[in-house]
Amino acid sequence: MFERSAAMLVGGAILAVVILSVADPRVGSNPITYVILAALIIVGLVAKTPTPASLHGTRIFAMKDAAGKNELGDRERKFLIFHILTLLEKKQSIEVKELASELNVGIYEFIGIIQLLGKHGALDVIYPPMQDFPLIRKGDPETSRKYRMGIYKELAKDKMPGESRMDEFAREVSEYLENIRRREPG
C-alpha cells in the first residue's frame, strides 16, 4: 500500500516538474530541472520495486488482483509448476484452457509459467490453429524431473528422497492448490 501511494506521489511530482518546465522557459532551460526530474524518476522506480517479503514467497493466496484473480507468491508458483509437471507425467497432453478454467489464477501469469517451462524444455507448448489457448505436452523427461525434484527438495516437509515421498508431496500440492480452484457462486 505504501509503495503504491509513494509511486503516485512521485508521479505527481514528475508531472508538476514537466508542466513547470513547459510553462516557463526559464525552468525548462535550467539544468537543475533535469537533475530533479532524474532524481524523481529514480525514486519512482525504487518505490515500485517489490519488497523482500513478496520476493521470498511469504504472501498467501489472499492477495487478489483487480479482476479478482489470485496473485501467486513464489511458493504458490512453484506448487503450480510442480502440479502441471505431475499432471503431464500422468497424461500425454493437457489443454491450457481446461487447466486455466479450473484454477482461479490470472491467465497472463498462468501463460507466463507455461512459456517459462516451454522455454526450458520441461514441456512442449503447441498453439493449434484457430484456438485461443495452447496445448501442452510432455517435454524433456530429464528437465521435467529436475524441476520437480528441485521443487520437492526445496518445499517438501520431509526431506526423505524417494518416489513414494514425492507422490505424497504431489498430494499435498494438490490439496494446497484447492485454495485457488474456481468456486461456483452460491
Q: What is the pLDDT of residue 61?
A: 40
Sheet holding 93-95, edge to edge: 93-95, 135-138, 123-126
Give the model confidence (pLDDT) of 47-56 as tens digits.
Answer: 665 544 443 3
Taking each helix axis from N to C terminus, what angle separates 141-155 and 74-90, rounded to the nearest 10 degrees? 140
Radius of gyration of the chain (CA): 23
According to CATH, the topology of domain 74-180 is: Arc Repressor Mutant, subunit A (1.10.10)
Q: Which residues make beta-bridge pairs with 136?
A: 94, 125
Q: Is 81 helix (H, G, I), strand (E, B) or coil?
A: helix
DSSP for 12-75? Answer: HHHHHHHHHHHH-HHHHH-HHHHHHHHHHHHHHHHHTSPPHHHHTT---TT-B-TTSPBPP-HH
What integer pLDDT is reported at residue 171 of this predicted model? 82
Those residues whose C-beta lies under 8 Å from the C-beta of residue 117, and which sit 6 or more positions away, are 81, 84, 85, 123, 136, 139, 147
Residue 153 has a pLDDT of: 83
* Grid cell listed for 149: 525434484
pTM for the model stands at 0.57
Across the strands, what pairs with 94? 136
Question: Residue-wise pLDDT tens for the chain (186 aa)?
Answer: 555 677 778 888 888 888 988 898 888 888 888 888 888 888 877 766 554 444 333 333 434 444 555 567 788 888 888 888 888 888 888 888 888 777 777 778 888 888 888 888 889 988 888 877 788 998 888 988 898 888 888 887 665 555 667 778 888 888 877 776 654 443
